[in-house]
Amino acid sequence: MSDARLAWEGGTVAAAWHGEPGDTLLALTHGAGGTYDTPSLVAYAEAMAGRGLQVVRFNLPYVEAGKKTPGPQARDERCWRDVALGLRPHARRLLLGGRSYGGRMATHVVADGLACEGLVLLAYPWHPPGKPERPRTAHLERIMAPMLFLQGTRDPFADPAVVTRALAQLPGATRHRLEGGDHGHTVAGRSIAGVVAELADATVQWLDAQVGR
């Protein structure tokens, strides 16, 4: 693992690289209350590097500014777009994603036309918790790239009815259900290492079937 800074129009953001250069690069950002050093994000990045991918995780601008909450969304999307364009020359296949809010920002820039070979979304926030009547799904229908949703079955951001309706409109999407998992992918009675291994294995299976490595 090595630390770095990634450029965007507003300056640079902290980042960390995992694994060796190869055909596929996976770029990840954090959830709304986290940073690029969120332990579950680091563990997943390490697990994917151990399975042969090069991975980079990075901060969004509000974290660099010392703020605890995201926004404005347009700025975070600009950062994602610039970082992704800067990463494109590093690999033949570029995958974008991350945890919760960070992954959602990736889906917005891809829906608006940014090219990538796939999206890996950990605990995608399908709606605000307790508000399934406010789905965050319409833009997903504009995405042509394959999408993988790694979702806990106890996630309060993922009402089953909302998720089922949305997935019915997304023929390029795959969902891996983490039984008993909450929004942080914590599962009672299971180790973090075991959960991360399951998610990483599910990602590799999806890559082999939908994207390639």
CA distances from 89 to 23, 39, 49, 92, 194 (A): 11, 28, 19, 8, 33
Domain boundaries, the chain: 2-211
**Residues 6+ positions from 101 with CB-CB distance below 8 Å:** 30, 31, 32, 70, 125
Per-10-residue mean pLDDT of the chain, 213 residues long, equals: 93 97 96 96 98 97 94 95 96 97 98 97 96 96 97 97 96 96 96 96 97 85
What are the residues whose beta carbons fall under 8 Å from the beta carbon of 68, sequence distance 6 or more? 33
pLDDT the model gives residue 212: 84
For the packed helices 192-206 and 39-50, what is the interaxial angle rounded to 10 degrees? 50
Going by DSSP bridges, is the β-strand pair 93-99/54-58 parallel, antiparallel, or unpaired?
unpaired
**CA distance linking residue 74 with residue 211, whole number of Å:** 29
Residue type, 45: A
pTM for the predicted model, two decimal places = 0.96
CA dist., res. 115 & res. 109, Å (int): 9
Sequence-separated (6 or more) residues with CB below 8 Å from residue 188? 180
C-alpha span between 57 and 163 (Å, rounded)? 26
For residue 64, give the nearest of 1, 2, 15, 106 by alpha carbon.
15
DSSP bridge pairs for 118: 95
Residues in the chain: 213
pLDDT of residue 209: 95
> 187 near 213, Cβ under 8 Å?
no
Fold classification of 2-211 (topology level): Rossmann fold (3.40.50)
